[in-house]
Chain A
Amino acid sequence: MSRAPATVAIPRHVADVLERHLLRSDGQEDVCFATYRLSTGAERTTAIIDDVILPEPGERDVHGNASFTGAYVIRAAALAASRGAGLALTHSHPHGRGWQGLSRPDAEAERSYAFLVNEITGFELLGLTLAGANATWSARTWAGDGTLTWASSVRVAGDTLAVSFNDDLRPPSASTSTQIRTVSAWGEHLHRDISRLRVLIVGVGSVGLEVALRLAATGIAEIGLMDFDRVEALNLDRLVGATPIDAVLRRHKVPVAARLLRRSATAERFTVHEHIVSICEPDGLAIALDYDVIISCVDRPWPRGILNTIAYSDVIPIIDGGIHIDAFPDGGMRGAAWRAHVLRPGRPCLVCNGQLNPAMVPLDREGLLDDPTYIAQSGITARSRQNVAALSASVSSSILALFVSLVAGPGGLGEPGPLRYHLATHTLDVLDCTSGANCPFEAAVAVGDGRPVLTAKHPTAAAARAPYRLSVRLRVLAAASATVERAHRWLEAQARSGFGRDHRPGDVEVRTDPRGGGANDEHRTEK
């Protein structure tokens, strides 16, 4: 194994098995083994727990603490090796709360088996601790030579996404004076965890940009933007915040969106990662695997096929949404409907909920869906391109509401399943979509790097990355625009540095414009 897993992912149904075993009614500690697969991202590797190997009679002893036999280790390691998987040793701290450290006996126990497990499976031994007081997981790996490496987080993906963080490696940001309203909505503790999630937006069009802006304003400290496309004039009726200068300079959508996010972000230390790549390219997929949650704002079958894969294979919840506007052939709107859904183990995939025809994926990959000759010969229907900025906001809203349900679980309820909103009647359906009995996407839960390979070279993305030639006039415009942007950034930095210094919390200042004017001219500043 080239890299120690930096994070761990557990599908909810697997976590349930582990928790039922490890959290005993008699309050004693317990222990068991599990297997894991690797999911290799561009910067991080994730160990995905895919199965539990419960002890057989006589293989472990519970006596306040828990111990196990060498035979149990050998059986579990051999089983893992036969599956080409790694081995995880899990144990519980029934009264523990939050990320758990290791006691010396626990560390010695894990270290003592590291070499053996490495020899049998070829993978590092993964150690996991379940803190029973708030069902929080912590994790580390042991190299064959006994070197310990702590993981940075463990995520459990079900109808809610519960992520436990190693504060040493993923420290929380202090909430800021700009986040008082947000923190008051869900509490400091939850805010610290939500703001630490790494969130990727795939497709920075009208919906993706708006979702990203809202997440940045919410306080998410690390957001990735992925899109290879450039801004054109025809985008300006939906890409709110992009300017005619962006369009005439044919700037990539990602840096334009990043510029807007930096202005909206409220996190103390905000990072926006700019990925001018397609998720259909191998590099794009690897980047996506570095994130905890992905927002899918793409409408083409190929990228949706890939996102539909990793939601299950790599246990990364994908929140997907889209809109269909039905126009009369002679003008006028017949209706519109938008849908939003979370793709994750336990929920129907895009094929099963009717949002992806897999037969279209290879056509899109070959570029045939953009080939008028092919479309005419094959008889398939060209993609519908109608869109309205006023309705894009509704799709964004649905996606963001699902995000909040997923990460905050309001009222103890997680994401509700697939949603569809009808514009004409203004009704919301919670769709009763069921998973196909033999769905190959959903059958590939937690396979990690064993996922089906749908990525390939993407000539359109490569062409879009090529430098765009600007005339002398446009080069002057670009330079002037960059200068203005730098000045704007400087001014905003000055303003931000004044937060909490120029005003005391709780101050409400009402000033009247000294030049005169009515009530509408009052400047009301609330801190």
Chain B
Amino acid sequence: MADVSPGALAFIAGAAECGIDAVAGDDVVTLAVTPITGSHAGLPMQVGVALDELTGWPAVPPHWIHMPEDITFEHTNAQQSTVAGWKKHSRGTPGWGNAEHPAQAYLSHLRSVLGEAA
């Protein structure tokens, strides 16, 4: 496992406070998120956030969301992930900066994105 920055540790701790077990891997923190809308509603789905995007957490939100290749979107801007068999999707989160609980806000963002998955 790579060095985990204080920002990434804070992200993992924040997810834990929301009842979600986030795990730091070599390059990516992975966690299971359950969307509440869309075709995958109610199903836990694995997603990831790059460790080097979490160094500035919570001041600066991560941009890319890593997902298994079988999760697809009608419209997306995707690149190869560092995780084998995954892709990373460009999904910025607007209006960042005033959430009382940043991890909770980011998890809402992840659920929202997953709600759009085909």
Q: Does B16 contact A (CB under 8 A)?
A: no
14 residue pairs bridging A and B, Cβ less than 8 Å apart: A305-B60, A352-B98, A357-B94, A359-B61, A360-B92, A361-B60, A362-B60, A437-B100, A440-B58, A440-B59, A441-B97, A450-B6, A452-B55, A453-B55
Q: Does B57 contact A (CB under 8 A)?
A: yes
Output the least CB separation between B65 and chain A (Å): 12
Q: Does A25 contact B (CB under 8 A)?
A: no
CA distance A439 to B5 in the complex (A): 20
A450-477 contacts to B, CB under 8 A, are 450, 452-454, 456
CA distance A309 to B57 in the complex (A): 12
Which listed residue, A378, A441, A452, touches B57 by the CB 8 Å rule?
Answer: A452
Output the least CB separation between A275 and chain B (Å): 22
Q: A374-B77, A440-B102 are in contact. Are A358 and B96 (CB under 8 A)?
A: yes
Output the least CB separation between B96 and chain A (Å): 5
- Identify the A interface with B (CB < 8 A): 305, 309, 351-352, 357-363, 366, 374, 377-378, 436-441, 444, 450, 452-454, 456
Decide if A358 touches B6 in the complex (CB within 8 Å).
Answer: no
CA distance A436 to B100 in the complex (A): 10
Decide if B92 touches A359 in the complex (CB within 8 Å).
Answer: yes
In the bound complex, residues from chain A placing their C-beta under 8 Å from that of B60 are 305, 358, 361-362, 452, 454
Which listed residue, B63, B97, B98, B99, touches A362 by the CB 8 Å rule?
Answer: B63
Decide if B52 touches A456 in the complex (CB within 8 Å).
Answer: yes
Question: Nearest chain-A residue to B63 (Cβ)?
Answer: A362
CA distance A358 to B102 in the complex (A): 13
Q: A358-B96, A378-B77 are in contact. Are A453 and B7 (CB under 8 A)?
A: yes
Question: Nearest chain-B residue to A451 (Cβ)?
Answer: B59
Which listed residue, B59, B90, B94, B97, touches A452 by the CB 8 Å rule?
Answer: B59
Decide if B97 touches A439 in the complex (CB within 8 Å).
Answer: yes
Output the least CB separation between B82 and chain A (Å): 14
CA distance A188 to B46 in the complex (A): 66
In the bound complex, residues from chain B placing their C-beta under 8 Å from that of A378 are 77, 90
Q: A363-B92, A456-B52 are in contact. Are A438 and B59 (CB under 8 A)?
A: no
In the bound complex, residues from chain A placing their C-beta under 8 Å from that of B96 are 351, 357-359
Decide if A362 touches B62 in the complex (CB within 8 Å).
Answer: yes
Q: A378-B77, A450-B6, A452-B7 are in contact. Are A361 and B97 (CB under 8 A)?
A: no
Output the least CB separation between B89 and chain A (Å): 11
B64-118 contacts to A, CB under 8 A, are 64, 77, 90, 92-94, 96-100, 102
Question: Nearest chain-B residue to A352 (Cβ)?
Answer: B97
Q: With contacts A357-B94, A362-B53, A363-B63 known, what are 17 further pairs, Cβ within 8 A?
A: A309-B59, A352-B97, A359-B61, A361-B60, A362-B92, A363-B92, A374-B77, A377-B77, A436-B97, A437-B98, A439-B98, A440-B102, A452-B7, A452-B58, A452-B59, A453-B56, A456-B52
Contacts between the two chains (Cβ within 8 Å), count: 77
CA distance A305 to B61 in the complex (A): 12
CA distance A456 to B94 in the complex (A): 23
CA distance A333 to B58 in the complex (A): 39
Q: Is the interface of A mostly helix, strand, loop or mixed?
A: loop
Decide if B55 touches A454 in the complex (CB within 8 Å).
Answer: yes
Q: Which 3 A-B pairs have the closest CB atoms?
A: A436-B98, A453-B55, A362-B63
Question: Nearest chain-B residue to A305 (Cβ)?
Answer: B60
In the bound complex, residues from chain A placing their C-beta under 8 Å from that of B90 are 374, 377-378
In the bound complex, residues from chain B placing their C-beta under 8 Å from that of A438 are 97-100, 102
Output the least CB separation between A166 and chain B (Å): 33
Which listed residue, B57, B94, B98, touches A359 by the CB 8 Å rule?
Answer: B94
Question: Nearest chain-A residue to B96 (Cβ)?
Answer: A358
In the bound complex, residues from chain B placing their C-beta under 8 Å from that of A454 are 55-56, 59-60
Question: Nearest chain-A residue to B5 (Cβ)?
Answer: A453
CA distance A437 to B60 in the complex (A): 16
Output the least CB separation between A68 and chain B (Å): 34
In the bound complex, residues from chain B placing their C-beta under 8 Å from that of A366 are 63
In the bound complex, residues from chain A placing their C-beta under 8 Å from that of B97 are 351-352, 358, 436, 438-441
Output the least CB separation between A282 and chain B (Å): 11
Which listed residue, B7, B56, B77, touches A361 by the CB 8 Å rule?
Answer: B56
Decide if B63 touches A441 in the complex (CB within 8 Å).
Answer: no
